[in-house]
Amino acid sequence: AQSVTQPDIHITVSEGASLELRCNYSYGATPYLFWYVQSPGQGLQLLLKYFSGDTLVQGIKGFEAEFKRSQSSFNLRKPSVHWSDAAEYFCAVGADSWGKLQFGAGTQVVVTP
């Protein structure tokens, strides 16, 4: 069965510091991987996605993620966080050909001054 694990429930980071959010997946075939962000009281917005090709994927708001097949990971990074990056971040894997998503539990990011 497919699964997505986000090991960190909560991360606190200083404004201007770098951020890395971890995501590990279990999937039998080549996965379709996504990162979504949820700002307080809002719906989810796609940050980036990976299907094939270059394993380093660029997304919106200065985020990037790297797919590592050998580690079954798809970690999200940002070199310098802004206060507006405080949100909950979800990693997801495409569960079938129609695009059903299997989500991780999410990582809450708090940005301090």
Partner 1 sequence: NAGVTQTPKFQVLKTGQSMTLQCAQDMNHEYMSWYRQDPGMGLRLIHYSVGAGITDQGEVPNGYNVSRSTTEDFPLRLLSAAPSQTSVYFCASSLGGSQETQYFGPGTRLLVL
Contacting positions for partner 1 (CB under 8 A): 4, 6, 9, 32, 36, 42-46, 49, 51, 90, 94, 96-101, 103-106
Closest CA to 36 of 83, 106, 86, 84: 106
Least Å from the CB of residue 78 to partner 1: 20
**Could you tell me which residues come within 8 angstroms of residue 107 by beta carbon, excluding any fewer than 6 positions away?**
6, 8, 9, 10, 11, 21, 22, 88, 89, 90
Question: For partner 1, which is the closer residue by CB, 106 or 111?
Answer: 106
Residue 54 CB, nearest approach to partner 1 (Å) = 15
